[in-house]
Amino acid sequence: MDNSLLIDHPTTQTPLSPWTAAPAAAYPSALERTGTVVLRYSLVLILGWIGLFKFTPTEAAGIQPLFTHSPLFAWIYEVLSVRAVSNLVGGVEIMVAMLIALRPAAPRLSYFGSLGAAIIFLTTISFLFTTPGAFGVVDGLWVPSGTGSFLIKDLTLLGAALYTAAEARRVLR
């Protein structure tokens, strides 16, 4: 190895990128770049798809119990109809998906879209604790059941949203 591409570090020597003076470890591998793209655009697909589904009567009725049992959102049906609430939620989800998708052209907008997704998933995760029957005991083990089985995936989606927000923010620096 060419020693001119090494920098001194208290415990190790770190290879430099041949194109800059930054450590090579600061540059993501092809695997990390591919994983990031798959993560970001699967998040876009999921949010967009679920957002579109919110415009159907089936999904409008399906989310009503989640909002009705939530202390944060129970009031909303006094102001808006079941369909209007679902359409509003769907519109927000689609908008957030579009913002996240803009990462190559507008990382700042993508950053805010990812933060919006994190808020969406924090909200849906809160429904795990407010919706009756979201957890049950099966063979002596407390597990997500019914609605909880559907909502538990949002923990992973929250992680994806936080990661894509961090990645877009890193590009802004």
Residues 66-84 have a mean pLDDT of: 97
pLDDT band at 20 (very low <50, low <70, confident <90, very high): low
Write down the mean pLDDT value for the chain. 89
In whole angstroms, what is the distance from residue 107 CA to residue 32 CA? 18
Q: Name the β-bridge partners of 6.
A: 15
In whole angstroms, what is the distance from residue 77 CA to residue 64 CA? 9
Cβ 107 vs Cβ 165: under 8 Å: no
> Which of 19-33, 110-124, 128-142 is predicted with the least confidence, judged by mean pLDDT?
19-33
CA atoms within 13 Å, Cβ hemisphere of 144: 15
pLDDT band at 87 (very low <50, low <70, confident <90, very high): very high
Query: What is the pTM (predicted TM-score) of this model?
Result: 0.82
